[in-house]
């Protein structure tokens, strides 16, 4: 999809509002208003929240962790499963008392959840103390919405979706110092039958490659050493655009940037994981040795019902290709248990993929019915209790695999980025370019540095020594 470039005008308008909020908010709250951004769901939301914080910072807000003292509270929500939505409503409910105590506090809700009509209606009717509801395509207009509310406007519900625009250069306040997120594309065209994402995030659209490279280089300059490229379907990056840069080419461009760093990416769709991409990962040494390839189900029958565009055999062949080309690769996956119509036989096909592939780790979910998706009207006869039993069986199978996996680390040396303290006094944690975390003796002077660590033992985690 070709993008609609009207960026500067959009940015200038919002910067104008931000300046006006700066003085309005100071009058309303005193010199330093506080904002709390609460994030639910995936890394895309975490990244979007970093931009919300960037805009709030520009408007003069100090970012705080708790809603208790905040003058502006925003919930960045997730709609992928019902459980996430329930948690959000619980949290929004808590702001009722806060607004009673401090009526000037503004409460906003954004993200995937509110892009569903029935949820926006529910907030309108049952949560009258929510001031601003903004959809996934208008989050860059936060300064405008806050300005309007501070100037006495009624409640704001802005949920329009214009798919061919990406707003660039929104201010950003990143959470991490060494690890950072970098969105490369937005939306999804795949319409897996269980998934709400294409409805709430809109059609797939990719950022221009030069914009990504620019931001990437700036992050490296700012000290980031581990950068994750984000998208619902990262490996379909660039499809339909005239610049001709696909995901593999983008990885090569970033790999060529000088410096020591790790480039990660998620999420990849198995159908777009080409041999070209596998060869690129193999050849580009700064690209992470990790492939997250959600297979969702090991049953070809269920995969068809899920509209996944591959079957069991194709997935296993892909894994074989990946392991042949990149033997050291860590594989991870997402699995859904209890999709409508799934039988125990189908589930056993999922189990056998888990034991065969030997994933480093898994993200496992019980199917959650999402209103408006094709799967929501499919017959679903398996009880929640039965699905729960299958789910436990799956976790047990993965636990066994994980224990077997440990042996491959012992005795090997890894280049790790030291990026956190260990709970053990005098020890630090480092991440390999795959998914492993290794604990080793060291102090805070190592934070943000790459070191070589030899794995010596396993004690509730991998333990090693700097060499």
Cβ pair 232, 247 in contact under 8 A? no
Residue 269 CB, shortest distance to ligand SF4, in Å, is: 5
Residue range at the interface with ligand 5AD (CB under 6 A); choices 172-180, 239-247, 349-357, 365-373: 365-373
Give the span between the Cα atoms of 46 and 41, in whole angstroms.
8
Residue 329 CB, shortest distance to ligand 5AD, in Å, is: 19
Which residues, numbered 260-299, are part of the site for ligand SF4 (CB under 6 A)? 269
Residue 241 contact partner, candidates ligand 5AD, ligand SF4, none, CB within 5 to 8 A by sort of partner: none
Give the span between the Cα atoms of 225 and 262, in whole angstroms.
6
Site string for ligand SF4, 164-203 (x = CB under 6 A): ------------------------x-xxx--x-xx-----
Residue 368 contact partner, candidates ligand 5AD, ligand SF4, none, CB within 5 to 8 A by sort of partner: ligand 5AD
Which residue's CB is nearer to ligand 5AD, number 49 or number 432? 49
Joined tokens for residue 350: 């999922």
Residue 290 CB, shortest distance to ligand SF4, in Å, is: 18
Decide: helix, strand or coil at residue 9.
Answer: helix
Which residue's CB is nearer to ligand SF4, number 179 or number 269? 269
Neighbouring residues of 438: CB distance < 8 A, sequence distance ≥ 6: 414, 416, 429, 430, 432, 453, 455, 461, 462, 463, 464
Q: Which residue, chain included where needed, has tokens 């290794």?
A: 438
Which residue's CB is nearer to ligand 5AD, number 171 or number 202? 202
Give the span between the Cα atoms of 58 and 201, in whole angstroms.
26
Cβ pair 442, 457 in contact under 8 A? no
Give the span between the Cα atoms of 365 and 388, in whole angstroms.
10
Residue 420 CA, chain-centre distance (Å), reads 20
Q: Which element (helix H / strand E) includes 198?
A: helix 197-201
Q: Is 370 in the site for ligand 5AD (CB under 6 A)?
A: yes
Residue 17 contact partner, candidates ligand SF4, ligand 5AD, none, CB within 5 to 8 A by sort of partner: none
Give the span between the Cα atoms of 206 and 298, in whole angstroms.
30
Joined tokens for residue 366: 């019980």
Which residue's CB is nearer to ligand SF4, number 105 or number 193? 193
Cβ pair 115, 200 in contact under 8 A? yes
Q: Is 373 in the site for ligand SF4 (CB under 6 A)?
A: no
β-bridge mates for residue 76, sequence order: 39, 110
Which residues, numbered 199-238, are part of the site for ligand 5AD (CB under 6 A)? none
Q: Is 132 in the site for ligand 5AD (CB under 6 A)?
A: no
Residue range at the interface with ligand 5AD (CB under 6 A); choices 53-61, 248-256, 285-293, 362-370: 362-370
Cβ pair 429, 420 in contact under 8 A? yes
Residue 198 contact partner, candidates ligand SF4, ligand 5AD, none, CB within 5 to 8 A by sort of partner: ligand SF4
Interface with ligand SF4 (CB under 6 A): 188, 190-192, 195, 197-198, 232-233, 269
- Binding residues for ligand 5AD (CB under 6 A): 80-81, 194-195, 294, 296, 334, 336, 365, 367-368, 370
């Amino acid at each position: 999809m070709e993008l609609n470039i009207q960026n500067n005008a959009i940015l200038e308008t919002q910067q104008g509002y931000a300046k006006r909020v700066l003085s309005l908010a100071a009058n309303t709250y005193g010199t330093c208003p506080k904002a709390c951004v609460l994030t639910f769901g995936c890394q895309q939301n975490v990244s979007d929240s970093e931009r919300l914080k960037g805009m709030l910072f520009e408007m003069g807000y100090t970012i705080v962790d708790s809603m208790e003292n905040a003058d502006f509270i925003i919930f960045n929500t997730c709609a992928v499963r019902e459980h996430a939505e329930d948690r959000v409503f619980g949290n929004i409910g808590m702001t009722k008392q806060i607004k009673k105590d401090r009526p000037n506090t503004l409460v906003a809700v954004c993200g995937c959840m509110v892009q569903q009509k029935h949820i926006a209606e529910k907030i309108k009717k049952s949560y009258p103390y929510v001031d601003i509801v903004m959809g996934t395509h208008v989050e860059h207009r936060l300064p405008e919405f806050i300005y309007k509310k501070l100037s006495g406007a009624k409640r704001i519900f802005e949920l329009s979706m214009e798919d061919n625009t990406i707003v660039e250069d929104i201010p950003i306040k990143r959470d991490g110092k060494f690890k950072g997120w970098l969105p490369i594309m937005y939306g999804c065209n795949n319409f897996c039958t269980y998934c709400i994402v294409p409805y709430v995030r809109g059609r797939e659209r990719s950022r221009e490659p030069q914009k990504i490279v620019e931001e990437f280089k700036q992050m490296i300059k700012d000290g980031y050493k581990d950068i994750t490229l984000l998208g619902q379907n990262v490996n379909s990056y660039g499809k339909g655009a005239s610049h001709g840069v696909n995901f593999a080419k983008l990885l090569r461009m970033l790999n060529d940037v000088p410096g020591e760093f790790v480039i990660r990416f998620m999420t990849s769709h198995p159908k777009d994981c080409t041999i070209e991409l596998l060869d690129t990962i193999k050849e580009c040494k700064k690209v992470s040795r990790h492939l997250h390839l959600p297979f969702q189900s090991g049953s070809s029958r269920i995969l068809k019902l899920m509209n996944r565009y591959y079957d069991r055999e194709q997935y296993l062949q892909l894994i074989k290709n990946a392991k042949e080309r990149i033997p050291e690769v860590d594989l991870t996956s997402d699995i859904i248990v209890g999709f409508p119509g799934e039988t125990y036989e189908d589930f056993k096909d999922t189990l056998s993929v888990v034991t065969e592939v030997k994933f480093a780790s898994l993200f496992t979910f019980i199917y959650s019915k999402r209103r408006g998706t094709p799967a929501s009207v499919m017959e679903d006869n398996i009880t929640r209790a039965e699905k729960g039993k299958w789910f436990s069986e799956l976790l047990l199978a993965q636990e066994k695999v994980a224990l077997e996996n440990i042996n491959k680390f012992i005795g090997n040396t890894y280049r790790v980025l030291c990026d956190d303290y260990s709970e053990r006094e005098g020890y630090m944690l480092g991440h390999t370019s795959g998914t492993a975390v290794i604990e080793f003796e060291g102090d805070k002077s190592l934070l943000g540095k790459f070191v070589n660590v030899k794995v010596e033992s396993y004690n509730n985690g991998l333990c090693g020594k700097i060499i």
